[in-house]
Structure 1
C-alpha cells in the first residue's frame, strides 16, 4: 500500500452495497472497506475464501461495516426509524449482531468495525439515550477484549452532537469514519467545517460527493443527491487539503452506490481513482 492515502473502495461480499470486488481488482485498488455479509455467510469458511480472493489481488480489508435486517434509507424519516442501534425495539439484537460481525472481521484479520449508529437522540437525559450509551459501551468493551475498535460514520448528526455522544460514551476505542457527502445528504452541516471540528477522532474516511437538497428549507428533512466524485458540493481538493492539515494519512475509501449499473459504476470509480491520485500527487509533492 502507498504509505500516505492509499486508495480504497467500499464493497460487499453478498449484500449488494458498494463496488463489486471484480471492479476493485480490475482497477488495481489496494484497500477496501466491506459491508458485512448476511448472517448465513458470516462463517470462518466464507471469511477464509474471501480473504484468499483479497490476498490474491493484493487487497487489504481496512474496515468491516455492520448492516442490520430491516434497515431502510428510503427517506430521512424512515432512516431515523430503522437504522443502526438507535431504534429501541431492535437495539439489543443488533448489538449482538454487531458482535457477530466483529467476529467475522477478526476472521478477516481486520481490527476495525464500522457502523451507522442511527439518529442519536437529542435529549441526553432521556431513558433511550442513556440506554443507547450503555449498549454502545458494552459493545465497545467487547471489542476492546479482542483488540478491535468502532468507527461511527458521520452524517446523521451535526458535528457538535456527535462529539457530545462520543464524550458520553467515554471509551478509548470509538472513533469516526468521516463521510463528507453524508453531511450534505442529511443536511447536517458543511462537511469541511464538520471535519475540522471532529478531526481528533477521525481514523477513516469516505470519498463520496453529493449536492444539497434543492430547497434550503428542505435540508434535514429531504435527501440531497449523491453524484460522482468531483461533481458535487464537497469540493474534493479542499476536503483532501483539510485531511492533510489534520494529519490524516489513512486510506481514501471511495463510496459510490450504483450497484444496479455496474458499467457506470466502474466508470465513476475509475474517474474517482484518477481524481484522488492526481490530488494526492499535488498535495504531497
Structure 2
C-alpha cells in the first residue's frame, strides 16, 4: 500500500461511517469498518463483503468495535457508557469484542480498534488494574490471530495513554490517533500528543474540531477537515516526523445527513491530497 493512502471510516448496517458506495464514488481505496451487527458477523457475510471490496478495489485496514448502550451525548454520559471501562457491561462487551476480532479475522484483517472508555486517571484505583487486565485479555486473544488492538485517542492525555500502554505491556497494543478527539474531549494539544505517542501509532483518523469554551467540562465542536483547530499541515508533518506510513482515514460523523457527509469527505480528500503532495513531495 502506498504511504498515507487516503481512507474513510465506513459502515454496513451499524455505526457512524459512510456507505461503501460513497468511498467508491470518491475514489477512496482504503476503509476502516465499523463492526456490523452481531447477527451479520457470519462467514458467509464476510466472504460476500470481501468479494465486494475486491470488486471495488478497496482494502480493509481495521475493524472497529462499538457496543449497544454507548452514548456520546456529553462527557459525563460518555464516561458512564463507553467502552470496556463501565463495570456492569465489561464482561459482555469484552466477549463481544473478541467476537468482533474473530469476524475481522474472517475478513483477513489484522487490526481491530475501539474506544476502551475513560480509563481511571488514578492508577491506584482498583478499576484501573481491572481495565489493564481486560486490555491484556483482548490483546492476547487477538495475538493468536496475528492481530493488533488499536485504542482510539480522546479520553486520555498522551501521558495517560503512554502509562496505560506501558502497564498493559503487550506488543500488539497500538494507538489509533484522532486529533479532533483530543480537542473535543479537551485532553491536550493534538500535534504535541501525536509526537509523544508516535512510536505506538498503528493507525490515524483525519477529523477536525474546535475547542470548547471550557475544555474537558463540555464538548468541543466537530467540523469539516480544514475548518477547525487541528492544523492539518502541522498534523501531517508530525506524522512524517514520527515515521507513520499507514492510511489517513477520514472520519465525519454525520450519517443522518448523507449528502453533506459525502460532500465534506470529498473536501477532506482534496485537502489531504494537496498536503500529502506538499509534505511528501
Q: TM-score, normalised by structure 1?
A: 0.97
In the alignment, structure 2 segments of 5+ residues that lack a partner are none
Structure 2: distance between partners of 1:16 and 1:122:
28
1:118-129 alignment, distance < 5 Å: 118-129=117-128
Tell me, yes or no, if structure 1 residue 237 matches structure 2 residue 233: yes
**Structure 1, unpaired ranges of 5+:** none
C-alpha separation in 2, matches of 1:152 and 1:261: 27
Give the ranges of 4+ consecutive aligned residues of structure 1 lying more than 2 Å apart after TM superposition.
none
Deviation digits for residues 156-210 of structure 1, max 9, x if unmatched?
0100011100011011100000000000000000000111111110110000000
Q: Match of 1:41?
A: 40
- Aligned residue number for residue 223 of structure 2: 227
Give the Å deviation of 1:5.
0.5
Task: String of CA shifts for 1:57-102, please: whole Å, max 9, x gaps.
Answer: 0000000001111011111110000000000111111110000000
Counterparts of 2:232 and 2:57 in 1: how far apart (Å)?
A: 27
Q: Equivalents in 1 of 2:36, 2:234: separation in Å?
A: 34
RMSD: 0.8
What per-residue deviation string (whole Å, max 9, x for no partner) do you get for residues 102-128 of structure 1?
Answer: 011011110100010000011212221
How many corresponding residue pairs? 281
Q: Secondary structure at the match of 2:227?
A: coil
User: Which has the higher mean CA deviation after the structures are superposed, 109-118 or 125-134?
Assistant: 125-134
The match for 1:150 is 149
Tell me which residue corresponds to 1:160.
Answer: 159
Match of 1:277 among 265, 273, 276: 273
